[in-house]
Amino acid sequence: MKNLFTTSPHYPRTRMRRNRGNVFSKLISAESALSVNDLIMPLFVVEGKGVSQSIESMPNIFRYSPDKVLKVVEKIVSLEIPAIALFPKIEDSLKDKSGSLAYNSDNLICETVRLIKSEFPNLGVICDVALDPYTDHGHDGLLINDQIDNDETIKALVKQSLVQAEAGCDAIAPSDMMDGRVSAIRDALDSKGLKDTQIISYAAKYASSFYGPFREAVGSNNLKNVIDKSSYQMNPANSDEAMREISLDINEGSDMIIIKPGMPYLDIIYRAQKEFNFPILAYQVSGEYSMIFHISKKGYIDYEKAVLESLIGFKRAGACGILSYFSLDAAKMLKNT
Ligand code: PBG
């Protein structure tokens, strides 16, 4: 790059604006592209019938009961969005210390997966693996003597993965950040004949404040305290550590990896793509969604342009796909252009 710059002629012979002047050259010289194929829509599900609940922290995003989710999924499929990621909101009375509903094959998520898959077998269905929607303390893992116990948590995550895979989801997405869980989940899936179920692991997930609105959405914000997950989620200061996490997950058998949050961590996506050349998904999380949503509602930025700009940024950085709450809207925008 440096060489090219120093050896190429300068202004006025070189005019960078020439390629930007014509529609054709702008199109042809584009270095990355965003398409509907890149998008994954996260969806929140809640028990009941005919329910669609608004979420205060995430305007325009709803929690749907399984029958209502089907209607939204129909829209998603008609827009040709390739996949969804499901997250449950569990009633407080059904939560316990060990998050036992997570590994009950009749739970809300398994029921929803079976329903969606029976109607839309070709839509990719990704299920989160972590205990936080199910535990009364709101942590992703099992609390033993006030500590999140890695190895006991893995046993629960394996059981959760198996019920979800048996319900028919295409991919298991562990978002818990326990050590060694990808390998344990792969072994368990294989031993049950679920060799085709993919693992899309959150390899580098940071302890981020940008998850705030999500925690309201799934009701995991226990006791009005902000839960400290920093004993398992990563320190935002670290990048080398993310590369180690990613390399471990790839070696343990992940089929794709997720980097999360998105916009504050574009350097991690870029670096991981350069180092591993492996399918990387960006997760544009709830706080990023709310930020863009609110500032555009205030009229300070253009909603559509800002959404598309934020999404192409992930592609430019090196992600092959994006989990984003804007997916439905973005797909509509992309269809119209
Ligand atoms: C928890 C989980 C979180 C998100 C997805 N899975 C939040 C957390 O770790 O507390 C966040 C997603 C978002 O903010 O959009 N397993």
Q: What integer is the mean pLDDT of 271-284? A: 98
Q: What integer is the mean pLDDT of 289-305? A: 98
* Confidence class for position 131, pLDDT limits 50, 70, 90: very high
Cβ(175) – ligand 1 distance below 6 Å: yes
Q: Which atom of ligand 1 is nearest to the CA of 138?
A: 10
- Write out the two tokens for 221: 């914000």
Cβ(286) – ligand 1 distance below 6 Å: yes
- CATH at 94: 3.20.20.70
Q: Is 222 exposed, middle or buried (0-12, 13-18, 19+ CB in 10 A)?
A: middle
- Write out the two tokens for 4: 């090219």
Q: What is the reported pLDDT for 5?
A: 62
User: Which residues of the chain form beta strands (DSSP E)?
Assistant: 39-46, 52-54, 62-64, 83-89, 124-129, 143-144, 147-148, 171-174, 198-205, 256-260, 280-284, 321-324
Whether 222 has a pLDDT exceeding 60, the answer reads no
CA 26 – ligand 1 centroid, Å: 37
260 has catalytic annotation:
yes
- Residue 51 has a CB neighbour count (10 Å cut-off) of 16
What domain range is 164 assigned to?
Answer: 32-255
Angle at 80 between CA 78 and CA 86, to 5 degrees: 90
β-pair partners for 41: 84
Whether 267 has a pLDDT exceeding 70, the answer reads yes
Whether 224 has a pLDDT exceeding 70, the answer reads no
Of 128, 141, 149, 154, nearest to 99 (Cα)? 141
Whether 97 has a pLDDT exceeding 80, the answer reads yes
Cβ(290) – ligand 1 distance below 6 Å: no
CB of 116 within 8 A of CB of 123? Answer: yes
Q: What is the reported pLDDT for 223?
A: 45
Lowest model confidence (mean pLDDT) among 27-31, 75-79, 94-98, 224-228:
224-228
Q: What percent of the chain has pLDDT over 70?
A: 96
Cβ(285) – ligand 1 distance below 6 Å: yes
Cβ(214) – ligand 1 distance below 6 Å: yes
Q: Which atom of ligand 1 is nearest to the CA of 323?
A: 15
Cβ(206) – ligand 1 distance below 6 Å: no
* C-alpha span between 73 and 58 (Å, rounded): 19
Q: What is the pTM of this model?
A: 0.96
31, amino acid identity: E
CA 188 – ligand 1 centroid, Å: 24
Compute CA 214 distance to the chain's CA centroid, rounded to the nearest angstrom. Answer: 11
Q: Give the SS3 label for residue 89.
A: strand
Alpha helices in 120-180 (DSSP H): 150-167
Q: What integer is the mean pLDDT of 264-292? A: 98
Q: What is the reported pLDDT for 6?
A: 64
Cβ(234) – ligand 1 distance below 6 Å: no
Angle at 261 between CA 258 and CA 263, to 5 degrees: 110
Residue with tokens 């670096």: 271
With respect to residue 75, please indicate whether it lies within any of the assigned structural domains: yes
Q: Which atom of ligand 1 is nearest to the CA of 289?
A: 15
Q: Which atom of ligand 1 is nearest to the CA of 286?
A: 15
Rg (CA), the chain: 21
CA 5 – ligand 1 centroid, Å: 43
With respect to residue 9, please indicate whether it lies within any of the assigned structural domains: no
Q: Whose CA is nearest to atom 6 of ligand 1?
A: 175
Whether 186 has a pLDDT exceeding 50, the answer reads yes
Cβ(211) – ligand 1 distance below 6 Å: yes
Active-site annotation holder among 205, 224, 229, 274: 205
Element (H, E) at 248: helix 240-252
Q: Which atom of ligand 1 is nearest to the CA of 176?
A: 16
With respect to residue 141, please indicate whether it lies within any of the assigned structural domains: yes
Whole-angstrom CA distances from 265 to 22, 233, 254 are 33, 14, 20
Ligand 1 pocket test: pick from 57, 58, 140 the residue with the most ligand atoms within 8 Å of its Cβ. 140
Q: 143-144 and 147-148: which strand pairing?
A: antiparallel
Q: Give the SS3 label for residue 105.
A: coil
* C-alpha span between 180 and 166 (Å, rounded): 22
* Confidence class for position 221, pLDDT limits 50, 70, 90: confident
Q: What is the reported pLDDT for 102?
A: 98
With respect to residue 262, please indicate whether it lies within any of the assigned structural domains: no
Angle at 226 between CA 220 and CA 228, to 5 degrees: 95
With respect to residue 179, please indicate whether it lies within any of the assigned structural domains: yes
Whether 3 has a pLDDT exceeding 90, the answer reads no
Q: What integer is the mean pLDDT of 220-241? A: 86
Structure confidence by residue, pLDDT tens digits, 316-336: 999 999 999 999 999 999 998
With respect to residue 160, please indicate whether it lies within any of the assigned structural domains: yes
Dihedral of alpha carbons 92, 96, 102, 104, sign: negative
CB of 328 within 8 A of CB of 81? Answer: yes
With respect to residue 325, please indicate whether it lies within any of the assigned structural domains: no
Whether 1 has a pLDDT exceeding 80, the answer reads no
Omega before 66 cis (within 30°)? no
With respect to residue 222, please indicate whether it lies within any of the assigned structural domains: yes
Lowest model confidence (mean pLDDT) among 23-32, 40-49, 223-232:
223-232
Q: What is the reported pLDDT for 45?
A: 98
Q: Give the SS3 label for residue 286.
A: helix
Residue 295, C-beta contacts closer than 8 angstroms, at least 6 positions apart? 301, 306
Q: What integer is the mean pLDDT of 157-180? A: 98
Whether 118 has a pLDDT exceeding 80, the answer reads yes
Q: What integer is the mean pLDDT of 143-164? A: 97
Summary count for the chain: helices (H), strands (E): 13, 12
Cβ(130) – ligand 1 distance below 6 Å: yes
Q: How many domains does the chain have?
A: 1
Q: Whose CA is nearest to atom 9 of ligand 1?
A: 211
* C-alpha span between 2 and 53 (Å, rounded): 54
